[in-house]
Chains A and B, each alone.
Chain A
Amino acid sequence: MSKEKFDYFINGEKGKYEVVIGLEVHAQVLSNSKLFSGSSTKFGADPNKQVSLIDSAFPGMLPVINEECVKQAVRTGLGLNAKINNYSVFDRKNYFYADLPQGYQISQYKNPIVGEGKVLLDMPYGSKEIGIERLHLEQDAGKSIHDMDPSSTYVDLNRSGIALMEIVSKPHLRSPDEVNAYIKKLRTIMRYLGTCDGNMQEGSLRADVNVSVRKVGDKNFGTRCEIKNVNSIKFMQMAIEYEANRQVELLEDGKEIDQETRLFDTKKNETRSMRSKEDAHDYRYFPDPDLLPLKLEQKLIDDVKKSLPELPDNKKERFIQEYGLNSYEANVLVSEKEISDYYEEVAKLSDKKLAATWMMGDLFAMLNDKGLNISNSPISAKNFAELVQSIKSGEISGRIAKEVFEIMVESGDNPKKIIESKAMKQQSDPKELEKMINEILSKNKDKVDQYKAGKEKLFGFFVGQVMKLSGGKANPQLTNEILKKLLKG
């Protein structure tokens, strides 16, 4: 990868603007039960089937913290190289809404469980560090369903009370591409840790996007707008693009930007005002008297630390050292834990570099085509390694390998078996090849004469004939050597 220069700026008549972005990512915690109740968190149950008396806020019900969710937050914090706070407090955020049965969300306000951390991004213009401001635990709300009935809104409380981690970045992001890389990196880290499945379609990962613009070189931040609850990377990028340009236009026109909360309309591709600063909710945060402050023993933190898996940044370094990959290859291969696992299995049994090339080429293209993940690849890592080894040893040519690969995809068979049963082995016996070539030369005396008279382009014709006769199995390198030798004679 050649190093490019960062160039995401918006040019106005009055100057060049830089876009400043901060994200509040809401990541659903992977846990069997909710943050303060024993209800299941499984996605896709019938509406209101995973709702306890606590989740639906019946009189006299009390929350009890789910320790697993606490550990998941600690795990995530450690994965973000962040400070874990031994003392944190759950607060109530008060507001009325149909899908918020308690009339308040239990969240963490002044004392979050995780403090400052950082995430490294690999951008074409080099690596960039994005600061994490904090991570806190909070309850998810239920879901209001507006499109089931023309005149009513339905409420599904299955999601009510599921644990969320709100991960707040510092305003360090400067372009939609960086946002894309940041979200993907967060998701990768959390998937490695097993703390969030990162499934944006199911809503396990969503973000509020804070956008402001300022003239390049300005020290102060501009007035920001918050775009609420965007649930795909593509929409985040579109929303930022739209919003940044809107703000620049306002500034160019000499107008002021109102600090407000906006919504992204995915159909019209525009953001529009939801509420201004004056209408902002007063959430009346105060410590939840039903819960004692959360005091973490150092031992719990240490134990979680010890149990952490190898994280993508470390794994990438190791892939470069151990397998001789370049930074780009290593990056791609650690982007998902399953991919890195697959690669390591293949690399153990075959040529490391060739394995990387073939994985990132044909294997990924096929998975992409079929809409599959590496974990449900029709080709097992062991079979894939055998294929790579067959290419490396010269048993089959790259072209044949592509044929074998296709058959492996369809049948899931072992490549050796396919090569043997279809007699696809490369013809590498010089005697056999010589016999074949002599036959072709004698059949095409006129062309041999022309070649000898200087029409060297005909060499390709002879190679083609050999391939045709051998059914593509002739070892190309040997064929070249023998042909050259015989044509000289």
Chain B
Amino acid sequence: MSNITNQSLSEILESIKSKKISSLELTQAYIKNIENAKKLNAFVTTTFDQALENAKKFDNKPNNEHLLSGIPLAVKDLFCTENVKTTAGSNILNNFVPSYESTVTKNLWNNGAFLLGKLNCDEFAMGSSNETSFFGNVINPIGDHLVPGGSSGGSSSALAADLTPATIGTDTGGSIRQPASFTGTVGLKPTYGLCSRWGIVAFASSLDQAGPMTKTVNDCSIMLEAMSGFDEKDSTSINKKKESYSKNLKDNIKGLKIGIPKEYRVDNMPKEIDELWEKGKKILKDLGAQLIDISLPHTKYALPTYYIVAPAEASSNLARYDGVRYGYRSQKGKDLIEMYENTRSEGFGDEVKRRILIGTYVLSSGYYDAYYLKAQKVRQLIKKDFDDSFTKVDAILTPSTPSSAFKIGEKTNDPVSMYLNDIFTVPVNLAGLPALSLPAGLDKQGYPLGLQLIGKALDEQKILNIGYAFEKNCGYKNEIKKWWS
């Protein structure tokens, strides 16, 4: 059974159900993989004892009625997990052990899964390369010199390296889709409000959304079904009936209208990205979909808008990390103010500080109208662009990122070029829409590239269906040499 961890979640679920493999054997196989993959630095915390215990419990009394029966899962370390350290990739939460479980992870456990460990991420999910983590950068299994994307870089790396059968991340401006694209995996950012934010360490509340990261589209629909749902503890949660995404997965997309936005062809975009997009269009067209040219005229303002709104919210969300009630506290300082200053100076890393400064600035009196308020207005225009387009099309196809995985350290000294990596992903967060990143091909270096399908609000099923059909006909296979073990 040495190959079990190579398989997709749905295949593994089959094997568990048919008792081809026990949950314990499965868990042991992942633990072995994880222990051999320390070089990737994907994990901040492992919970092997607890996982083995849970696996045994399952094997003693197998209940296969759930969506994720007997499945060990590692999750991004931004989800609060009861009695398991939760760091958000930050020194300031280095010693923080929550007494509560986030709604999304609780949903997973209620569906029969159990925790395998906590995955590294950019500090407070602020980053596009997983290089801002207090626990060190994560390495992309695609190549030892490559970033895995960010902020859910531990998640994408672990998934691509077979250290977890599926995982979850959070996506504020592309943090699921970009790392998925960099590692040749599937990532979905659901509609804002579909998955509860309760118990997730907040970055930018109006943009944050948890979502699945998986090897296949079918796995993605299983995970989405398991993790989503209305939560009265989150005032922005959408109260709607739960959908059976995997049961309803169909690969017939004949007649669907796919919008191709002209604004997503940016200057200096590598030719390969353009070719990938063309390839995607052709696949969908061959499957009977209709391609329609559309315009999303305010796209060029999305990135600056995002880098005002997200830091503004973050500057306020991160005010609670003051060293008083939990987390890291500096021993230096002679009064309260100095204690705050030292705690936050020592507890936060540079990128987090940068965004707190930007956010504080754009909310300051005298600048609020010029920055924050204007950004909110532009945000409405961006949303309106999508609303207008969705009267004409069922989904929109774009590249996921303007490049493949870049080198470790390549952009760390140039925050703006780092931010540019989010150019195709942030508009979706600003508009609150669902978007799926699909592995679609390789660049000339052999690094994976992804395409993005954007859907109407709450139209996850449709983009999953298109993705499912695309996956079957794309011929992409993620073949990663396990150079690290």
Q: Please indicate the chain A residues that have their CB under 8 angstroms from the CB of B372 in the complex.
A: 286
The answer to whether A53 has its CB under 8 Å from any CB of chain B is yes
Contacts of B322 in A (CB 8 A): 96, 103
* A65–B337 alpha-carbon span in the complex (Å): 31
Question: Quick check: A286 and B197 within 8 Å, CB to CB?
Answer: no
CB-CB nearest in chain B for A292: B235
Contact between A103 and B316, CB atoms less than 8 A apart: yes
Contact in complex: A98, B201 (CB < 8 Å): no
Binary interface encoding of chain B residues 336-372 relative to chain A, with 1 for a CB under 8 A from any of its CBs, else 0: 1100100000000000000000001001110010001
Interface residue stretch chosen among B93-101, B247-255, B278-286, B471-479: B93-101
B338 vs chain A, min Cβ distance (A) = 12
Write the B194-205 contact mask toward A (1 if CB under 8 angstroms, else 0). 000111111011
8 smallest beta-carbon distances between A and B, as pairs? A103-B319, A289-B206, A289-B205, A284-B363, A57-B320, A60-B199, A59-B201, A60-B80
B312 within 8 A of A: yes
Flag if A64 contacts B325 (CB, 8 Å): no
Q: Is the interface of B mostly helix, strand, loop or mixed?
A: loop
Assess the A101–B198 pair: CB atoms within 8 A: no
| B318 / chain A contacts, CB cutoff of 8 Å | 103
Any chain A CB within 8 A of the CB of B461? no
Contact partners of B236 in chain A: CB under 8 A = 289-292
Residues from chain A with Cβ under 8 Å of B340 in the complex: 96
Assuming the contacts A98-B324, A103-B322, asked whether A60 and B197 have C-beta atoms less than 8 A apart, the reply is: yes
Interface pair B336/A98, CB less than 8 Å apart? yes
| Contact sample, A vs B, 26 pairs, CB 8 Å cutoff | A53-B100, A57-B325, A58-B100, A59-B93, A59-B320, A60-B80, A60-B102, A61-B198, A61-B199, A92-B316, A94-B319, A96-B319, A96-B337, A155-B324, A282-B365, A284-B363, A284-B364, A284-B368, A286-B368, A288-B205, A289-B204, A289-B205, A290-B205, A291-B235, A291-B236, A292-B236
Q: How many A-B residue pairs have CB under 8 A?
A: 96
With A53-B100, A282-B365, A284-B360 known as contacts, the answer to whether A63 contacts B235 (CB < 8 A) is: yes
Judged by a CB distance under 8 angstroms, whether A332 is at the interface is no
Cα of A285 to Cα of B372 in the assembled complex, Å? 11
Q: What's the minimum C-beta distance from B70 to chain A, rounded to whole angstroms?
A: 27
- In the complex, B191 has a CB within 8 A of chain A: no
B232 is an interface residue with CB less than 8 A from chain A: yes
Evaluate whether A59 and B202 lie within 8 angstroms (CB atoms) in the complex, with A64-B233, A286-B372, A291-B235 already known: yes
A292: which B residues are within 8 A, CB to CB? 235-236
Q: Check: B88 CB closer than 8 A to any chain A CB.
A: yes
Inter-subunit contact A59/B88 (CB<8 Å) = yes
Q: Is the CB of A102 within 8 A of B235?
A: no
CB distance from A469 to the nearest CB of B (A): 80
Within A49-71, the residues touching B (CB, 8 Å) are 53, 56-65
Give complex CA distance A58, B82 in Å: 13
Decide yes or no whether A104 CB sits under 8 A from chain B. yes
B14 at the interface (CB under 8 A from A): no
In the complex, the answer to whether A102 meets B364 with C-beta atoms within 8 Å is no
| C-alpha spacing A101/B326, complex, angstroms | 11
Compute how far the CA of A286 lies from the CA of B102 in the bound complex, rounded to whole angstroms.
Answer: 26
Give the interface residue-count category, chain A: 20 to 34
Residue contact B319 to A58, C-beta cutoff 8 Å: no
Complex: A285 Cα to B318 Cα, angstroms? 15
User: How long is the Cα–Cα vector from A292 to B315 in the complex, in angstroms?
Assistant: 20
CB distance from A354 to the nearest CB of B (A): 58
Chain A, residues 286-324, CB within 8 Å of chain B (1/0): the string is 101111100000000000000000000000000000000
Tell me the B301-338 residues at the A interface (CB within 8 Å): 312-313, 315-316, 318-320, 322, 324-326, 336-337
Q: Is the CB of B319 within 8 A of A64?
A: no
Contacts of A286 in B (CB 8 A): 312-313, 316, 363, 368, 372
Flag whether B86 is at the interface (Cβ < 8 A).
Answer: yes
**A104 and B319 contacting across the interface, CB-CB below 8 Å:** yes
Would you call A101 and B320 a contact (CB within 8 A)? yes
Of B99, B313, B368, the residue contacting A289 (CB under 8 A) is B313
Q: Looking across the interface, which residue of chain B has its beta carbon closest to that of A102?
A: B320
- Bound complex: CA A284 to CA B205 (Å): 17
A284-B360, A292-B235 as given contacts; A59 in contact with B98, CB under 8 Å: yes
Q: Tell me the complex Cα distance, A148–B245, Å.
A: 59
Residues of chain B with a CB closer than 8 A to A61's CB: 198-199
Question: Would you call B316 and A64 a contact (CB within 8 A)?
Answer: no
Interface residue? B410 (CB, 8 A): no
- Contact in complex: B235, A65 (CB < 8 Å): yes
Determine whether B234 belongs to the interface, using a CB cutoff of 8 Å to chain A: yes
User: Distance (Å) between the CB of B413 and the closest chain A CB?
Assistant: 29
Instruction: Scan residues 361-386 of chain B and give those whose CB is less than 8 A from a CB of chain A.
Output: 363-365, 368, 372
